[in-house]
Structure 1
Amino acid sequence: MKFYTKIAAISFIIALFVSCGNADDDVEFGVNPGGSTDISGDLGLGKPVDKCLNLEGGDLVLSIQNQFTTLPGKVSVFFRVSDKEGKPVSGLEANQFTIYEQGRNDACFNKISPSESSARISPNAQIFNSNTVLVLDLSNSVLDSSLEELKSASISFVNNVMPATDSEVFKMAIYWFNGEDKLHSLTPLTHVKQNLINSINGINKNISKDPSTDLYGAVIKSTDTAEKLLKESTTNDRIGAASVVIFTDGTDQASRYTESAAVQKVDRANNNISYFSIGLGNEIDPSILKKIGKTHSVFATDKAQLETTFNEISKRVSERANSFYLFEYCSPKRDGSGENNLAIQVKYGNREGAVQTKFNAKGFTGGCE
């Protein structure tokens, strides 16, 4: 895999869009590797499309994460699609994208035939890692009153987030906390769904005797864990994303860490980490959980609603992971044409968006691998 920009490392810049209340997904990705140009807001490697195409002002945002070329003539672009509020758009297919190229002799862009270019959405396993960190409150109040419901909801969450067939792309780790100054590991990071389910089934009332809740400590420590996982999964030729999902039935009782320290930890975390929170019962503080779960938060009034709330969060996590696309096509440009402009347009229902970037056709001949 030969990266177009030949960068030694990838750094992420994400813009956070804050709306009233708790946004559906406040994160928009944007990559800004050293040496890239024409960075505009959250468009990562790209920039707004040339006005000659009349594609500006769309409702969707294409945020390019990386791009590379493969001889004899394939162009690959890895990007995320969201709406302007940051809500991920998943399930797109190749026929919903239109490609435009502009060479040195073109006044504007030329539309590239989908059939001749063999455009396709390819599995992103070769370039993408998605890590989920599920953090469960197992203080005595949960163990005594809602353990079985929590186990059932957690298993449903695992089944919804992890693919039917185990894949190295999607991994999850499960942790738990009580009043101790420790984030306990229930299941280390794994791509094997059954390992996660077995660990959840193994939880019993004897796992903890601590009646306190170190919620803020759990937030701080789970952020450190997610940062570490993200660093390990983001390398020269791979891009990583992470989601932290925290469940609790109350407020912080240990008073070991402050609310401001926990919220600050979330706000200053690597912006390629999304945060979700789930609250149960009438002893939670929704305003705090919304700050902790800045991407999305849900609340269950009683334990009968737990599975529903976990399912809602699992949907958000899954949609976000599946809003990344590896789009590939065979370019008609050939060796000697130099650097060419590329515009990609996406249409999703009555919404659309576009982004512009460039690639070098050095060494390009006919066809694709």
Structure 2
Amino acid sequence: MKNFLKSFSVLFILTLLFSCGNADDDVNLDLITGDGLGKGTEVDDCLGLEDGELVLSIQEQYTTLPGKVSIFFRVSDTGGNPVPGLTANQFTIYEQGRNDDCFKTISTSESSARISPNSQIFSNNTLLVLDLSNSVLSSSLDELKLASTSFIDAVMPSTPQESVKMAIYWFDGEDELHLLNALTSSRAELKDAVDGITNDISNDPSTDLYGAVIKSTDIASDLVKVSTAGGKIGAASVVLFTDGTDQASRFTEDAALKKVKEANANISFFSIGLGAEIDTEVLSAIGKTASVFAQNKDELERTFRDISEKVSERANSFYLFEYCSPKRDGSGENNLAIEINTGSRQGAVQTKFSANGFTGGCE
């Protein structure tokens, strides 16, 4: 799953696409990650498709002249688990015009159907938040540095992409979320920052866990606001590591969990706990997207790798599917159905698009 952000590049610049076509103006900037088909509907019975094991949730759709239809959607199984790694040849397109009793299959080759690079319209920011209180620095710093480096390698593309960035913060007992490395697309820069952590970096041996949760959520919220400005779609992930409980008592547990619960829907939360002193119930609530726990420092790299895979799978389950429609100007509104078939699992979704202004050819 290390191709997470390499192939995906979270948060696409919709304005780029809107500027060259007749895309809709009412863009929804919130990702739809719950159950259901999003902006889509169940497919018409005339297609004869049975209920499948995959769910296609349409996030956004638009058309671009002279005749391109673009659908941005998420694929998950019926349990809500993300399904990454799908390819264009696993999709079948069906269109139904006003003269059609049912849908007609559209050749994926003749329509130049493709899964386009997500970096065009979706960009993702990851915040890695590390507990560098005294207990970590004195007993597991080397293991944490190794695990963090592995996480960076797994999440960040080897070739920097502006749509994929990460920042690293750390906390101890102070009323501050310390910046270790600002938001960047450089994997090497992030790894150098981690390598530079020393056991004397902290001046306060306590742990302000709840403060770190609140402050990192605020930072992620600001990043989403910036990335969704001007008609874009943006997402952020907060990945927090700790080996203990909140000791500073500067903020309450309720305040921290409320901040996570009410955060922007485009923010994912992951938590990693180490050792016997953590509160797994609290960390599971903080990491509402996914949480993992290591019994000892030797398991740290594995748990960080587990989280990096979950981050990658979630991001890679979003697809930008594009094809050139044979419909032409004057045909009005047309029905569209997309089926995915992996050989072992199947799913489908239906929507509509307007062919106003469509002519021959496609960019």
Deviations 1:128-147 (A, max 9, x none): 11111110000011011111
Of 32, 42, 51, the match for 1:48: 42
Q: How far apart in 1 are the matches of 2:80 and 2:265?
A: 13
**What residue number does 1:176 align with?**
170
Question: Higher RCO, 1 or 2 (CA under 8 Å, sep at least 6)?
Answer: 2
Amino acid at match of 1:131: N
Deviation per residue, 1:310-329 (Å, 9 max, x gap): 00100111111111111111
CA contact (8 A) 1:9 1:235 kept: no
**1: CA distance, partners of 2:249 / 2:115:** 49
Q: Would you say the 8 A contact 2:87–2:115 is kept in 1? A: yes
Counterpart amino acid of residue 104 in structure 2: N
**Residues 29, 232 of structure 2: 8 Å contact kept:** no
1:106 aligned to 100, 105, 118, which one? 100
Q: What amino acid sits opposite 1:100 in the alignment?
A: Y
Q: Secondary structure at the match of 2:110?
A: helix
Query: Which deviates more from structure 2 when the two are superposed, residues 61-70 or residues 160-169?
Result: 61-70
Match of 1:305 in 2: 299
SS in 1 for 2:148: helix
Deviates more, 1:263-272 or 1:151-160: 263-272
Q: 1:6 to 1:189 in 2, by over 3 A?
A: same
- CA distance in 1 between counterparts of 2:221 and 2:115 reads 29
Query: Residue 367 of structure 1 aligns to a residue in which SS?
Result: coil
Q: Which amino acid aligns with 1:150?
A: L
Match for residue 287 of structure 1? 281
Q: Deviations over 1:193-216 (max 9, x none)?
A: 111111111111121021111111
- 1:95 alignment partner in structure 2: 89
Q: Which residue of 2 aligns with 1:6?
A: 24
1:60 is matched with which residue?
54
Question: 3-state SS of the aligned residue for 2:362?
Answer: coil
Match for 2:333: what amino acid? E
Q: 1:8 to 1:53 in 2, by over 3 A?
A: closer
Using the aligned pairs only, state the percent identity: 67
Q: Which moved more, 1:179-188 or 1:41-50?
A: 41-50
CA–CA separation in structure 2 for the residues paired with 1:73 and 1:11: 24
SS in 1 for 2:200: helix
Match of 1:134 among 128, 131, 137: 128
**Compared with structure 1, are the counterparts of its residues 228 and 9 closer, same or farther at alpha carbon in structure 2 (3 Å cutoff)?**
farther
Matched, 1:116 2:124: no
Task: List gaps (5 residues or longer) in structure 1.
Answer: 15-27, 30-40
4+ runs of 1 displaced by more than 3 Å? none
Aligned partner (choices 346, 350, 355) of residue 344 of structure 2: 350
2:226 corresponding residue in structure 1: 232
The Cα of 1:283 is off from its aligned counterpart by 0.5
Comparing 62-71 with 92-101, greater Cα deviation is found at: 62-71
1:323 maps to amino acid = S
Contact 2:59 2:74 in 1 (8 A): yes
Number of corresponding residues: 345
Determine if the alignment matches structure 1 residue 202 to structure 2 residue 196: yes
Could you say if the C-alpha distance between residues 184 and 9 of structure 1 is closer, same or farther in structure 2, counting changes exceeding 3 Å? farther
Q: Report SS of the residue matched to 1:172.
A: strand
Code of the residue aligned with 1:110 in structure 2: it is K
Could you say which residue in structure 2 is the equivalent of 1:34? none
Using structure 1 for the length normalisation, give the TM-score. 0.90
Q: What residue in structure 2 maps to residue 322 of structure 1?
A: 316
Please report how far the alpha carbon of residue 367 of structure 1 lies from its aligned counterpart in structure 2 after TM superposition: 1.9
Q: For residue 4 of structure 1, report the CA deviation from its aligned partner.
A: 5.5
Higher mean Cα deviation, 172-181 or 349-358? 349-358
On the 8 A contact 2:23/2:63 being kept in 1, the answer is: no
Structure 2 distance, partners of 1:315, 1:4, is: 37
Q: Which residue of 2 aligns with 1:78?
A: 72
Q: Given the alignment, which residue of 128, 150, 154 partners 2:148? A: 154
